[in-house]
Each structure stands twice: as C-alpha cells, then as structure tokens.
Structure 1
Amino acid sequence: MRKVRINAGKVGLVFKNGDYKRVLTEGAHWVRFRESVNIYNTSLSFTSNALDLEVFLRDKELTDLWHVIDVLDHEIVIVYKNGKYSQTLTAGRYVFWKGLVTYDFTRADLTKIYITEKIDKAVFAKYDLHSHIRVFEVAAHEKAVMLVNDEYVKTLTGGTYRFWRNDTTIKIAKADLRQLQLEIAGQELLTKDKATVRLNFYAQYKVTHVEKALLETKEYEKQLYVSLQLALRAFVGSYTLDELLESKEALAQSVFEDSKDIAKKLGVTVLHCGVRDIILTGEMKDIMNRVLIAQKTAQANVITRREETASTRSLLNTAKLMEENEMLYKLKEMEYVEKIADKIGEITLTGNSGMVTQLKELFTTK
C-alpha cells in the first residue's frame, strides 16, 4: 500500500493494469502497489478517447464530478467559463469538471435561421462562433427585403441582422431611400422640323415602395431611365427647333407629368425634372449662327434706314426755315464757314476789299 494525496482543484483516477477502478477527490488516499493514479486539473476540460470515456461514464461517483455535454450534428454549444466566453462546441461529446470553475452552456439549434438564444453581441465576433453565423448590414438610409428560399419574408430597416448558417438560403436586397438623381446625358433627338439636337436631362426621385421596387420590378432604375427617355423623344419630336429652344420649362414639366405614373408602378416617386443643356450639332450650330447673323444684319439695316430718314427730314425742315428767314440763313452760312476754317492751316488775304467779304468769296459760291 502507498499513500497518495489529492490537492484542492485536482482529481485522481485510479487504474489497475490499464483498467479504470475508481476516482479520488481532495484528500489523502491509500492505493495498492499495483495501482496507478492519474491526476487531473479540474480547471481544465477533461479529454479522453471515446472508448475510455464510455467506461468512465459507468461510474456515477465520477460522472457527478462532470458536466457531460453531448452536441448533436445540427447543434452548437457555447461555453462560458466563470461568466466569460470560452469556446464553441460542434458535434461530439465533451466533459468539463465541476467545482473549481463555474461553467455555463448555451445550446443552439442550427436548423433554425433566427438566433433566438440569449447571446451577447460581443460574442458574435469570436471566430469559432462567427463561422456559424450569416451577417447582413442595412444602412440607416436603406430598407431591404428578406428572401428565405427565394420567398419574401419581411422588410428590414437599418441595422445589423444575424442568422444561423445552414442549408436554408437567405438573400437580402437593399434600396436607398435618399433622394437620388438620374442623369440622361447626350441624347441625340430629332425635332419636328428634322433638326438634330443633343439633350442633357436629369430627374430627381426617391424609392417610396421598397417591396414593389425590389420584388415586382427588375432593375427599377433602368426602367425609370427608359420611361424618361421615351417621354423626352415624344416631346422633342412634336416641336420645331425654334419652339423647343423657347420651351425648356415646358419640356421638363411634360416629361415629369408623363413619367410620374410609370414611376409609381415601379415603386418610386419622381420629385423634379429639368433640362441641363440643349446642344446643337456642328452643322446645326453653323446654320443657326448664319440665321442669327442675318437677323442682326436685317435689324441693323432697319435702324440705319430709320436714322437716314430722320436725318433727311431734319435737313428738309432746316432748309425751309432758312428759306423763310434770311438771318437764319446767314447764321447757318457762318457756322459752315467756321467748320471749313477749322480744316485750313493758313489763309492769305489782299487789301482790295474787306476781310469778311474776302472770306465769304473764298467759302461760298455765287
């Protein structure tokens, strides 16, 4: 016989010729010389091969010292050690010692999709648990439709959503709820008088019916783009180039009215439409420039003729007044003599007659 002491936090298993005999707990124990004792730390999990474990489980005294956790194929068990996450157990049998360490176990059924178990969010980030979870993020400005096995289940608002990972298919389709802008750039269209113009157009819209936009419509933004494009073609094709250039606001309003009912069926609401640019092609630009030059030339000619007519009428009125008033004639004559004299550098006079008489003879005709 020999004496063996088992300290606190330890457990001894007695074997004889390789066969398990009994368990020794804290204290002093006598064992026979042909018996061996394996000491185990109860703060650690117990590990053994499957055959030995089945033998150990026959001893009720020993199993009373254990947490025996059987995990099925479709399950996981989350282990907490003294209130803190320790590990995630997959299918199999696990043994933990009782007493020194406080263990808590949370069992989860992976055949479900929803996580109904009470699990702290911080634990989801642990690698061995995270691999069993599907995570979907929906931003605060978004809504999403959730499809399970390709069937609509519900609409999700902003947040983080977690589901158990299994054979069930889960899909999330998201829509942005903010005000969005759709650009229709560089559209070459024909007017009623066969002139080619290039239009840059925009529309502002919002998704107002998420289920209709994502479930009943395929690529709602592309369909909205096409509806706006067709409305543009219809309007431009019914106006001449001159009428179109004068009707930008009418164009935007017409496209808005034509597209809003179609947009409603797509699950969106058109808020505003506008024409950014109407651009003429190179040939049309040259033609319009020539037309503008011709118009401005014609306007200039009209103004010139109007001024010439007014000037002639003024001269006629002046002539009539001078004919009726000799003094006015003399004053006018002196005014022109003064103007002519400004252009002459030197004047030579003789002494045969008076200076005024000689000047008159120089600047006037008999």
Structure 2
Amino acid sequence: MMKTVVIAESQRGLLIKDGRVIDILSPGRYRLWDWLNRKRVETYVATGVFASAWAEIIEKRHPELAQGNFVPVRPQEGEVAVVRIDGRAAYIVRPGESVHVWCVMDWVEVETFDATSLARLDKRQLVAFEKAAMIGSAAPAPIAIVAVGEAEAGLVFADGELVETLGPGRYGYWQVGRKVTSKTLDTRPVPLEVSAQEILTRDRVSLRVTLTAFVQVTDVEKAALSTPDYAAHVYKLVQFAVREAVGGRTLDEVLNDRVSVDTQIVDHVRRELGDIGVRVTELGVKDVILPGDMRELINKVVEAEKVAQANLIRRREETAATRSLLNTAKLMEDNPTLLRLKELESLERVTEKIGRIDVHAGSAGLNAVLDQLVSLKPRD
C-alpha cells in the first residue's frame, strides 16, 4: 500500500513505525510503502516550542535526529534559562522544567542566569525579559517588578528580609525559589486628617474636635520596620494627645487659647513618637464643633457682649459731642466776634432752604434781624 505525505516549508514530520520514531522529515513530498499499515507521519509547525511527548524521547533515544532540528532547554537547580529566538527573548524556563525549541527556521540561543543571588536585572534585561513567555508552573512570575515613583523610596524584601533600598525608578529581580516583595514610602510631607471625636472638657461640655497633621518620613527603613503602619501609629498618638489637652481644660480655655492647646498636642505627639523614622512637621486643631444647644447659648452670650460694647461706644460718643458743644458755647460767650460769625453761619444755613427773603432797612437794619435770631442771656 502506497501513502503520499506532503511536508510544508514551515513544518517537520515525524515518521513513526510501530510506535517508534524512525526519522524527522524535511519539507517535501514523500511516498511511503506500508503494506501492513505500520507507518504514520505526524506533522508539526517547526517554529517556537516543540510541544510533543516525542520531543523528549527523540532527545534521549535519538540524539542524532534532535541535532539540527530542535534545541533542548533544561536549566539546573538554581538557574533560570532565557530562550532567545532571532535575538529576541521569547521564553523563560524555570529550574526543573524542560522545553524543546525548533531551530530549523529560527536562530535559537539559550542564556542561563544564577537565580540564587538576588542580583538586580539591568534596564536592558528588564525590558527584554518581562515580555517573554513563562514556561512551567503559573505562580509566581519569574521576575518581580518593583516600581518606585517620584519623591518615593522603595524597600525590597526577599522572603521577608530587607535586602535593598531604592530611589525612584523601575527595577526587576529574579524570584525563583523565593518570594520578592516591595514597599514604597512617600518622602514628602503628607497630610493626615484626624476625624472628629467626642471629648468631654473639664467643665463637662461635650466637644467634637478635628485636627490636621503633616507627617514626613525621614528614615525609610525605620519607618517601614518600626511599625506596621506609621500613619495609623501617628493617628492614634494624635487622638490620645488631643483627649489629654482638651479634657484638662474648660470650654472657655479651649476656645480662647487655641495656641496653647496646639502646642501641648504637638509636644505630646513628638515625645511619644520616638525615633521611628517619621516626624510631625505641623499639627493643629482645625475645627471645634459644639452641640446645638451649647452653640445657641454661646451665640446669645456673644450677642449680649456686642450689644453692651455698642452701647458703651454710643454713650462715649454722646459725651464727647456734649463736651464739644459746651466748649464752643464758652468760647462764644467770651468772644462777641466769634458769636457774630456763628450767627452768620446759621443764617447762611437757613437761607439755603428759603427761596426769597426781604430785608427792610430801618433804624436797626440787619442788626435787628440778627438780634432777633440769636440772643444771649447776660452772664450773672
């Protein structure tokens, strides 16, 4: 019985007889005599990974067939293999995994790396390797990417141990046989809002106080290792400090001496904070919220104080005006010329509101008019 098999340019064929690989067929047309139907041909695309159980069998039992057709990749323990196809990193192979890559149409190169040391990948390797496909188990990824933003500092941990502190940038580490994690901290002053909390003053008035703090990391390693969360740690310290500062004062003292309250809170927080790589740059009371009935009482007190102040100012002005009139009267009494000028000034103001005035010159004339307008009682 005659069989005809055609192998395309991009393919290779495995000639199998009685369950054994006889040959690897190159592109072309083949005629196979198979009277007892003992032969068959399996075709494979001859690029990329040779994903077949026959690949390992051919590598071990027929190395002469494997040579020139595919490249076996089997990294040792503690190594990672990077398979480059035509100069491009295409696959990353973990230790204990094996892969066979066709090399009949592509140029294949295998590069191994020591994965036991936590050596950082350079920029060229990171850009090339992070796009490569991973061969083997799905978790975790063979390369851990650490991205540190502007004005941040990054800490790299291998199995929970701090190994390196980084500045802004993008980095990559092999994490084969270990777990690589990272933590980034902002080194700029960061606002921390302490939400309103109920506090009872010394005179039994309930207040709600809101504070604003600015926290800055001064030592990245201490800030990351001293406390699980330095922001939450500072938040709790501020809460304790404001309770101590407000609870020891009366309502009037809290409202009238905010500077002293802020100073006491800042001193308490800085003293209890200690050396954890964090400092509080600014801290102060933002809002003091009173209960509704207490606000009404305080508003009435303030209103009464303002009314009293207005009355006092009004009485002072009236007293000053009266004193000025008295001084003017004494001057006019002692000086007839000044009195006559004042009379003329008064007459001028009167005539401004009169459309016409007739003056008849008699024995007295204008003097009679002025004498009738203003007359002075003789001094005793």
User: What TM-score, normalized by structure 2, do the two folds share?
Assistant: 0.64
Per mean C-alpha deviation after superposition, the further-off stretch among 97-106 and 184-193 is 184-193
1:57 pairs with one of 57, 60, 65 = 60
The CA deviation string for residues 219-260 of structure 1, in whole angstroms up to 9 with x for no partner, is 322332343455455556677777766655555555444433
Q: 1:224 to 1:286 in 2, by over 3 A?
A: farther
Equivalence for 2:128: 122
Equivalence for 2:270: 260
8 Å CA contact retained: 1:20, 1:56: no
Report 1:71-110 matches (<5 A).
77-89=81-93, 93-96=98-101, 101-107=106-112
Deviation of residue 87 (structure 1)? 3.6
Query: How far apart in 1 are the matches of 2:356 and 2:149?
Result: 96
8 Å CA contact retained: 1:114, 1:162: no
Query: How far apart in 2 are the matches of 1:292 and 1:262?
Result: 43
8 Å CA contact retained: 2:86, 2:108: yes
2:190 pairs with one of 176, 180, 187 = 180
Deviation of residue 176 (structure 1)? 1.1
Is residue 230 of structure 2 the alignment partner of residue 220 of structure 1? yes
Equivalence for 2:298: 284
Deviation of residue 177 (structure 1)? 0.9
Output the aligned Cα RMSD: 5.5
8 Å CA contact retained: 1:12, 1:37: no
Is residue 321 of structure 2 the alignment partner of residue 307 of structure 1? yes
Query: How far apart in 2 are the matches of 1:172 and 1:77?
Result: 24
The CA deviation string for residues 79-119 of structure 1, in whole angstroms up to 9 with x for no partner, is 22232234445666544566764321234677x58467894
Per mean C-alpha deviation after superposition, the further-off stretch among 37-46 and 158-167 is 37-46
Q: 1:309 to 1:150 in 2, by over 3 A?
A: same
Equivalence for 2:4: none
Deviation of residue 294 (structure 1)? 0.9
The CA deviation string for residues 287-310 of structure 1, in whole angstroms up to 9 with x for no partner, is 113212212321321232233234
Structure having the higher Rg:
1
Query: How far apart in 1 are the matches of 2:339 and 2:41?
Result: 149
Query: How far apart in 1 are the matches of 2:146 and 2:103?
Result: 39
Deviation of residue 282 (structure 1)? 4.0
Q: 1:137 to 1:317 in 2, by over 3 A?
A: same
Q: 1:221 to 1:315 in 2, by over 3 A?
A: same
8 Å CA contact retained: 1:114, 1:164: yes
Q: Match for 2:132: what amino acid?
A: K
Per mean C-alpha deviation after superposition, the further-off stretch among 52-61 and 199-208 is 52-61
Equivalence for 2:217: 207
Per mean C-alpha deviation after superposition, the further-off stretch among 344-353 and 153-162 is 344-353
What are the ranges of 5 or more consecutive residues in structure 1 without an aligned counterpart?
1-5
Is residue 308 of structure 2 the alignment partner of residue 294 of structure 1? yes
8 Å CA contact retained: 1:113, 1:166: no
Equivalence for 2:3: none
Q: Match for 2:308: what amino acid?
A: A
The CA deviation string for residues 114-134 of structure 1, in whole angstroms up to 9 with x for no partner, is 467894522312344697334
Query: How far apart in 2 are the matches of 1:329 and 1:53?
Result: 131
Query: How far apart in 1 are the matches of 2:85 and 2:211?
Result: 64
Deviation of residue 311 (structure 1)? 2.7
Query: How far apart in 1 are the matches of 2:67 and 2:113?
Result: 25
Q: Match for 2:184: what amino acid?
A: K
Query: How far apart in 1 are the matches of 2:358 and 2:102?
Result: 143
Percent sequence identity over aligned pairs: 21
Q: 1:192 to 1:102 in 2, by over 3 A?
A: same
Per mean C-alpha deviation after superposition, the further-off stretch among 215-224 and 41-50 is 41-50
Query: How far apart in 2 are the matches of 1:46 and 1:59?
Result: 15
Q: 1:234 to 1:101 in 2, by over 3 A?
A: closer
2:150 pairs with one of 140, 145, 150 = 140
